[in-house]
Amino acid sequence: MTPKFLVIVLAAAALGGLAQAQTLATATPAAVAGKLVVRGSADKVAVREIRATRNSDFMSVQADFYNPERSDHYVFYRFRWIDGAGNQVGDGEAWKQLLLLGQAQETVKSVAPTPAAVDFRIEMNAEKK
């Protein structure tokens, strides 16, 4: 292997690692995707719909996770709340593990810790059971 070839191979490997983009299942609508922060790949798990309301001045969000595959998946998720200035509200939620059976949909829900929350993100990653 010549040095020039070795350099090209190393560069390609480095760029490939750096360029690994977050991938979302294609069934996730674009409007929903903007609220998701996916760690690595969502492994075909889609977020079909997100609904946000305000109850008693607290933002309440529900998200529908859907597993289009026949095999069961684990989804790790948590909600992150953001105030009007873009700062995180509260100390951050704990991660939750959700068992998503094959071709099943589960709704997860969370309520903001203070009325200051006006926006949110859902952090998630998925893996096969």
Partner 1 sequence: MKKISAIALAVLALSGCESLSSPVVRFDRQVNYGDAKAVELVTNEFGSTDLQMIAEKMVGSLLESGAFEGRPLVTISSVKNKTSEYIDTTNVMNSIQTALVKSGRVRFTRSIAEMQTGVDELQRQNQSGLYKSSGTAKVGNMSAAKFMLEGELTSIVKQNSNTKDVFYKFTLKMFDVEGGTIEWQDEKQIRKTSKR
Q: Where along the sequence are the contacts to partner 1 (CB under 8 A)?
A: 2-3, 7, 10, 55-56, 58, 60, 76, 78, 90, 92-97, 109-111, 113-115
Closest CA to 61 of 52, 71, 70, 74: 52
Question: Pseudo-torsion of CA 113, 118, 119, 122, nearest 10°?
Answer: 20
Please say which residue, 47 or 75, places its beta carbon nearer to partner 1.
75
Please say which residue, 26 or 53, places its beta carbon nearer to partner 1.
53
Least distance (Å) from partner 1 to the CB of residue 26? 27
The alpha helices in the chain, defined as continuous H runs, are 3-18, 30-33
Least distance (Å) from partner 1 to the CB of residue 30? 28
